[in-house]
Structure 1
Amino acid sequence: MRSSFLFTSESVSEGHPDKVADQISDTVVDLFLSKDPQARVACETLVTTQRVVLAGEVRGNGMIDTEGKWADGALAEIEAAVRATVKKIGYEQDGFHWDTLEFANHLHPQSAHIAQGVDESGNKDEGAGDQGIMFGYATDETPDLMPATLYYSHKILERMAADRHSGAAPFLEPDAKSQVTLRYENEVPVEATALVVSTQHAPGYYFHNNEGDPALYAKLRDYVVSVFHDVLPKGFITDNTVIHVNPTGRFEIGGPDGDAGVTGRKIIVDTYGGASPHGGGAFSGKDPTKVDRSAAYVTRYLAKNIVAAGLARRCTIQLSYAIGVAEPLSVYVDLHGTGTVDEAKLEAALPNLVRLTPKGIRTHLGLNKAIYQPSAAYGHFGRKAEGDFFSWEKTDLVDALKSALA
């Protein structure tokens, strides 16, 4: 890796249409898991002007049985949960309103052909819900061991959302995007060279091509610049930092009314902002038997513990699976030349610390719970582990790792 360079990551807010879709899909996952920890959910969501559409395969006691019959009240419960999620995000606009949007539910029973290969039975261990490759990453660039460009992109939008919800910034609307470019020297971020925010706003808060209200736009811009200064480390913003706030001008129509949203289109935002490889599979809308989700979580968990243990400054881990097969087909560790231990020794040690089967991962991290909706905006990684939530962010393997390599 080059020691001096510019690198950029982006984030999108909870009101971005793709993130609205992700949050709805994970709301459905949580609802099913709250009824049945062994539920199977693969829920895709489409959002557009005044419309939410669900599709996918599901199974779970208390909601739908293997014959495809819905439990009493289940359909109404799903719709109510979806509307509550949209309301929580803050959409009460003519083009997308939690109370008046049209809702269509096309979820149906999980394929029996998938179930027979995945379910545990007799002497057969539970198999992976699909084939695929999953990556986890950690770096010492930030306290939460995340790439700095993505870390600050998320924090900017989290702060803006908090101010919108509290009323401190009443001119903000839910849809927003951020982008952070940092200059690295000796692989350490030292300066922000470019900062971008495009945010949906209340009527009139723009000025472009001599149209709009310059005073209102100045209020919006000054607010966003103050967020930049509050979020980024002191000294990162300099006279040379290029700042863009709503560079296209007016942004009053946004969210699903401005652009359709679909589950799983923001996978780089969800993970490492482009600083690490990505296996390609989305997380939201999938129960934890799907290794797209659970194995990506455990690779982050293992990589973070390796960096937290001081065994490397940067770590990438890859796992691979075949559908219906329990054990991973491969375990790969790359310390990017920053490690103090042999990568092959880590590859041998990790499966002894956490059983890397779908069931083993879920058991170790406690994933069969209704814990997923909060992960569907502002990243699945680099979050604070609290109770059952974000268990894959814990660093409780540090001592075991050191012992295994002693």
Structure 2
Amino acid sequence: MKPKILFTSEAVSEGHPDKICDQIADAILDECLAHDQNSRTAVEVLVTNQKVIIAGEVTSSYTPDYKKIARNILNRIGYHDAKNGIDADTCDIEVLVKTQSQDIALGVNSSYDTASLGAGDQGIMFGYASIETENLMPLPIVMAHKLVRVATNYRHEHPSCHLCPDMKSQVTVDYSSDNSRIDTVVFSSQHDENISIEDLRELITKEIIMPVAESFGMNKDFKVFINPTGRFVIGGPAGDTGVTGRKIIVDT
């Protein structure tokens, strides 16, 4: 019997604690580069219940308003109530940013006068190009991203839909035959207390999972698990501490 060949990828929404941190760190870099194209940032962010810590090293002629940037990101995501994880306007923000070490900067500073660009750190990425999607990314990660993107857009467009910012998707595709098929979709979404798990699962299936599967022209007879543990009211930074860099593989 031919063994099954399964490949699984996950994605998280803008409201996932780790992704909140990534967005704040990215926004700080963007702000610095907008004022000084030679800016270098190595910023780490931690979020927990009603608390944001911004630390790291920044080398730039411009000093950004770190607290304002963090609050803008939280507001854009939709964190307006501490009960949903964190309140953008009232949370405590601590900034512990310093300039880059002169020793580490040596490799980068010297590269300004050469054709090569040095680096102050390294990283490992995973991914491959594939012709199965228009953007040449593997199907499971593309579908996982689209699921949380569609869900996030639905949440913003329907404020009373009971969905909250913290979400995660996981897609498993079966490559055992020439025609790939969706094997399993797992979707977890934070929600308020005013919706039953049955209604939540019906909403996510009808408005998010099935439309996304149909948009790829895929099979509909796959396994679906929505909030498999049941209740997910306590979410965001109130439910799980977030840190930059823990979701790098989600974006590759």
Query: TM-score scaled by structure 2?
Result: 0.90
Deviations 1:147-189 (A, max 9, x none): 1111111101100100111116621000011111121144542
1:245 lines up with 2:236 in the alignment? no
What's the CA shift for 1:18?
Answer: 0.3
1:85 lines up with 2:73 in the alignment? yes
What is the correspondence of 1:243-282 to structure 2 with a 5 Å cutoff?
243-271=224-252
Gaps of 5+ in 2: none
Q: Percent identity?
A: 43
Whole-angstrom distance in 2 between the partners of 1:270 and 1:146: 11
Letter in 1 for 2:220: I
1:110 lines up with 2:100 in the alignment? yes
1:223 lines up with 2:213 in the alignment? no
Secondary structure, in 3 states, of the residue corresponding to 2:129? strand
Whole-angstrom distance in 2 between the partners of 1:38 and 1:167: 41
Whole-angstrom distance in 1 between the partners of 2:66 and 2:158: 30
Letter in 2 for 1:194: T
The count of corresponding residues between Structure 1 and Structure 2 is: 245
Other-structure match for 1:170: 161
Letter in 1 for 2:246: R
The 8 Å contact of residues 141 and 188 in structure 1, kept in 2 or not, is answered as no
Letter in 2 for 1:158: R
Whole-angstrom distance in 1 between the partners of 2:125 and 2:6: 26
What is the correspondence of 1:189-228 to structure 2 with a 5 Å cutoff?
189=180, 191-206=181-196, 217-226=197-206, 227-228=208-209
The 8 Å contact of residues 3 and 186 in structure 1, kept in 2 or not, is answered as no
Gaps of 5+ in 1: 64-73, 207-216, 272-406
What is the correspondence of 1:4-403 to structure 2 with a 5 Å cutoff?
5-63=5-63, 74=64, 77-94=65-82, 95-119=85-109, 120=111, 122=113, 125-131=116-122, 137-167=128-158, 170-186=161-177, 188-189=179-180, 191-206=181-196, 217-226=197-206, 227-232=208-213, 233-238=216-221, 241-271=222-252
The 8 Å contact of residues 190 and 232 in structure 2, kept in 1 or not, is answered as yes
Secondary structure, in 3 states, of the residue corresponding to 2:132? coil
Whole-angstrom distance in 2 between the partners of 1:37 and 1:256: 32
Whole-angstrom distance in 2 between the partners of 1:231 and 1:122: 49
The 8 Å contact of residues 41 and 58 in structure 1, kept in 2 or not, is answered as yes
Whole-angstrom distance in 2 between the partners of 1:181 and 1:58: 40
What's the CA shift for 1:259?
Answer: 0.4
Whole-angstrom distance in 2 between the partners of 1:48 and 1:132: 26
Secondary structure, in 3 states, of the residue corresponding to 2:175? strand
- Rate the CA distance shift 1:198–1:51 in 2: closer, same or farther, 3 A: same
The 8 Å contact of residues 125 and 249 in structure 2, kept in 1 or not, is answered as no
Secondary structure, in 3 states, of the residue corresponding to 2:145? helix
Letter in 2 for 1:48: T
Letter in 2 for 1:137: Y
Whole-angstrom distance in 2 between the partners of 1:111 and 1:187: 53
Q: Which moved more, 1:113-122 or 1:125-134?
A: 125-134
- Rate the CA distance shift 1:132–1:156 in 2: closer, same or farther, 3 A: closer
- Rate the CA distance shift 1:28–1:156 in 2: closer, same or farther, 3 A: same
Whole-angstrom distance in 1 between the partners of 2:74 and 2:30: 15
- Rate the CA distance shift 1:247–1:113 in 2: closer, same or farther, 3 A: same
Whole-angstrom distance in 1 between the partners of 2:146 and 2:114: 47
What's the CA shift for 1:126?
Answer: 3.5
- Rate the CA distance shift 1:222–1:98 in 2: closer, same or farther, 3 A: same
Other-structure match for 1:300: none
- Rate the CA distance shift 1:141–1:235 in 2: closer, same or farther, 3 A: closer
Letter in 1 for 2:223: V
Letter in 2 for 1:107: V
Query: TM-score scaled by structure 1?
Result: 0.57
Whole-angstrom distance in 2 between the partners of 1:124 and 1:5: 45
Q: CA RMSD in A?
A: 2.0
- Rate the CA distance shift 1:121–1:142 in 2: closer, same or farther, 3 A: closer
Whole-angstrom distance in 2 between the partners of 1:134 and 1:180: 20
The 8 Å contact of residues 46 and 54 in structure 1, kept in 2 or not, is answered as yes
Whole-angstrom distance in 1 between the partners of 2:36 and 2:243: 26
